[in-house]
Amino acid sequence: MNSGRVSIWVALLAALALLAAACGSSGESDDATDTSDDTAESTDETTADTTADEAEETTDDTADAGDAEAAGEPIKIGALTSLTGPFASWGLHVEAGMKMAADDINAAGGVDGRMIEIISADDQSDAEEAVVQYERLLEEGVVAVAGTISSGVGAATAGLAEEAQVPLFFSKSGSDALLTQSSRYTFRTCLPAGPMNAIPWGQYAQDQGFTKVGQIIADYAWGQSFKTAAEGVFGEAGIELKTEVAPVPETDFTTYLRSLDEFGPELILATGHPPGSGPILAQAADLGIDVNVAGPGSSLTAVMEAAGDTAVGRYADHSCADYFSDDYAELATRYVADTGLGFMEDDAVAMYAVVNLLAEAVASVGDDPVAIAEYLHGASYDSPGMAYPLEWTEWGELAQSQLVLVTVTAGPAPEGLNDAGDWWVEELFTSDPIPPYEPAS
């Protein structure tokens, strides 16, 4: 891989055994003989001893049964993601990656004999619905929740995770406002904070000698976060930046693109408008705007479905997955064959990693969510296909993120790695490890 040359900006809660103790006594009349009294005392002692032994055996048997039951209980992990709504093209791969990891773990015997169970919850890309679904997952007894895509959903659930003390893993929620200095149960995985995400694109633009860059951002937490970060990054690099702001559900970007065309950018960032990256690319081509469009860590299959051949050689994006590693090839070949989703997106790779890391945590410290969170803060986990190890700061930011920038090329893809179309990806460069963003206290 090429490196960015420009450095800028930096137990197991066991089931309780119920004790069943039986007490026996035999009473005698006041006028009983001494012999009768002795006999009664002897009988009482024998009966008490026998009863105590039976009670102890019963207790042991009950405890053993409880332990056996506990050992057989599944380890529940919630998949809170967008199975419908604007971010569904990400969410479907989140769910599939988590289920693939669970299947692999279970096929190998589970965690100390316990199976992993993925409980899916559709947040519908809506913050209010996400709260309802998050609370349902807690009622189901999950040890952790993972897969959040929308920063709006992340904002609605991060505080709940901290209050409940149950780990929550974002996949693509990148707003810099989601984590605070006191966050301990919230973790990023595939997308670092907005200020961090802007750095590789600034490096790339500088490396290419660009002087003007345009961007279209969505008017919600992530878009505004990226906007602010990009203004700082490109401003410090001496690159002019023009920003257009569009609603999240927008599908017609003609007006915004015409405004940018008048500006004359050498690169258009759709990074701040995740659902719009495909349409922005296609509509830019229709308007004759012949520059690369950089996406936000999009579902590449969704982009290609929206843009088709206009994406080839023109669409660039970043990824938390190393599409060019042997580990990715092995994982993706199975994923493509088993899921029918055509291509293993980086969200699937990241969530595959998270489920495996949670299984490792449970095997080490049990299924108490508090203990799991403590374990994760001390972990550094290299997972197949990931571009960097999963390792976190005290407040849950990625400590070693290293994004891979790619561009879409004509196919064919390596055998077995893409049934979604006749295209593949080519590496532009890989950033140096990005310094973790430190939120305000």
pLDDT tens digit sequence for 185-200: 999 999 999 889 999 9
Task: Please name which of 189, 197, 225, 192 lies closest in space to residue 356, comparing C-alpha atoms.
Answer: 189
Cα(218)–Cα(151) distance, integer angstroms: 11
pLDDT tens digit sequence for 38-78: 444 444 444 444 444 444 444 444 344 334 335 589 999 99
Find out whether 375 and 361 touch, Cβ atoms under 8 Å. Answer: yes
Q: Tokens representing 363?
A: 């095997």
Q: Please give the CATH architecture assigned to the domain spanning 75-192+323-400.
A: 3-Layer(aba) Sandwich (3.40)
Look at the pTM and tell me if it is higher than 0.95: no
* Region of poorest pLDDT, from 75-84, 276-285, 325-334: 276-285
Q: Where in the chain is the domain with CATH 3.40.50.2300?
A: 75-192+323-400, 194-322+424-430
What HEC string does 217-274 produce? EECCHHHHHHHHHHHHHHHHCCCEEEEEEECCCCCCCHHHHHHHHHHCCCEEECCCCH
Cα(268)–Cα(280) distance, integer angstroms: 9
Find out whether 109 and 177 touch, Cβ atoms under 8 Å. Answer: no
Mean pLDDT of the chain: 86
Q: Please give the CATH architecture assigned to the domain spanning 194-322+424-430.
A: 3-Layer(aba) Sandwich (3.40)
Looking at residues 398-408, what average pLDDT do you find? 95
Looking at the DSSP bridge assignments, the partners of residue 315 are 293
Residue 225's pLDDT band, with cuts at 50, 70 and 90, is: confident
Counting beta carbons within 10 angstroms of the beta carbon of residue 263, is it exposed (0 to 12), middle (13 to 18) or buried (19 or more)?
middle
Measured on CA atoms in the order 147, 149, 155, 156, is the torsion positive or negative? negative
What angle, rounded to 10 degrees, do the helices at 151-164 and 127-140 form? 30
Cα(254)–Cα(438) distance, integer angstroms: 37
Task: Please name which of 215, 324, 311, 234 lies closest in space to residue 272, comparing C-alpha atoms.
Answer: 215
pLDDT tens digit sequence for 361-392: 999 999 999 999 999 999 999 999 999 999 99
Chain centroid, CA 48 distance in Å: 58
Looking at residues 227-233, what average pLDDT do you find? 93
